[in-house]
Structure 1
Amino acid sequence: MEKVFMTFLILSSGLSAYSQEKPNSNEDEEIDEIIDSLLDDEGILDELIDVNFQFLYVSVNYNSDTYFSGRDIGINQYNLRPQITYMHSKGFVASASGVYYNEFVPKWDYTALTLGYGKNIGKKKLLRLYTSYSRYIYSSGVDNPFENTLTLGAGIKNKQRTIGTQLSCTYLFGRDDSFQISSTSYASLKLFKTKRSSLKLRPELNMVIGKQTFELGQIYIQNGVVTTEYLENDAFGLINTQINFPLEFSTNAFDFELGYNINLPSAIGTESNLNTTGFFNFSVAYMFDL
């Protein structure tokens, strides 16, 4: 069990999709939702599709507890995830982000640099295709086999932009390699809206499927001596299911979010008796119009 936890810890320390962070971890979906919330008028949005505009989006996300792939590793700690993102209306995205754990040493785990491109398809612009590359720079003393990720994905939403789903495939590589598939399905429910402010409930269902390597211990007796031999095994399957209940409040250029998140981890290898975990998140963001 300890080996399995350490495997998830290594994977999670550099890759948000493996850890508890929501795949709002897809900047393309976040950009769409930000622009929609600012304009919130399909006619105006269609008129601006061919106009060049740029934004700088700065955010900080606080998570009250830390779980890796939905699993509790026995350390009570919060984490902070600051991020700065540049977005262009033509679909180009560049971002820098990182994560701080208050009980780990070093506390600053990594810095991630991301470049991406996305394009809306179709007359109504309801289908979006995107790709991104991320480079992870780890703090001193942090050993992680994955230093790069390459992601391809697609998202689709209804005409009213109240329901959507997104599917992405990520290849992880560096000293080792792995593969994961993640999906996000959401509903956007407007609770109230004024000219400058809005409040939305945006429940999400996130699922992560990936390849994991784990060790099985085989005990045998040789010449009267009890010996344990560890055999490596690869498994591909569902790792974690997460349900999010966030309230999103936007006013002028500010965005605030308060939510509760539930993890439903799936057993991998010799894991058993996995508990459901949960945590609160709060984020604040500001958009600069360039």
Structure 2
Amino acid sequence: MGDVQPADFRIIVAPAVGFGEIGQALASVGLLPGPDDAVTPPAIPGEREFAHWTAPEDDARVHYSFNPVVFLRVLVFSGRSAIRWQAAVSDKLAQLEPQEIGALLQSSSPREVLLGLYAAAELKAIGLLADIEPLRIHTDRRISQTAGQVAEKLALAFVSIGAERLAEAQRWQPDRSALFPRLGDAGVRRDTLIWLMRDGHGASPDSIKVLRSGLSDPDWQVRVTAMFVAARLKVAVLWQEIRQMELPSTSRSGLDDRARSLLKATRKAVLADLAGEPLPGEDNDDARLMRQLRGALAGKAVDGRDDLRDWVENWLLQR
């Protein structure tokens, strides 16, 4: 086995905390400042935009960056003792935690929303995906573009860190994502499944683990979303899990008989599509519905059934 590379740790310093106070806090725990080698003066006098510190007796380093437009202040701790230094500094400085970042995302101030988006990206705050998703259609173009970029980054982070962060749980179920069930509420898990279609991973091994976990999720809407995503990504290896997936069977789910029947028919269409079965040629209600659903799953309208295509797309857009 090769050497394990130590992770870095970061904190988002509260915007109101100036560079001078940050420098004092790091000095108070024994970190040594590096030289100021900036070639241009900072946009705000006295507020350096980059700085670094080192530990006197080990390989730890601390890098600081400051975005003067939105007042994003980030401290990144690296080295084998990084977590110890992060803990020491955290006691000295006010920070933006996920709860405060979530509040910024709801702000009426564009600057605060952008600060929240950048902070969420820095912390890889996957649990904020549900708050970030609506911002993709914000009227402010800067916000909508940034929200799309941040959401994709968080989805990529989710896919890449599952096994590393939860290795022990993964050992017991190596074919499933150990992180997915711990993502928070059902809305966040559904959002994460949707992003599997958009982050470029497609039917990668990690994506399949996430989808397999989604198909066995306690929430029926998460399970159904996983089925639709698996169908759109053509993940045939999940055919058996989809066939065995529990669908809502009573009105307690909020679905009436017609809606529950449509879900059952959709699962049959998904299974037929993943199995590569030819479209049925018979001229009866069941055969027509099968053709229509398979067309809708592929994003096409068939026999004028735009309503079925819209129904499928609503699952995939979470609207």
Q: Could you state the TM-score of these two structures normalised by the residue count of structure 1?
A: 0.24
TM-score by length of 2: 0.22
Higher strand fraction (1 or 2): 1
Q: Which has the higher helix share?
A: 2
Larger Rg: 2
Higher RCO (C-alpha 8 Å, min separation 6): 1
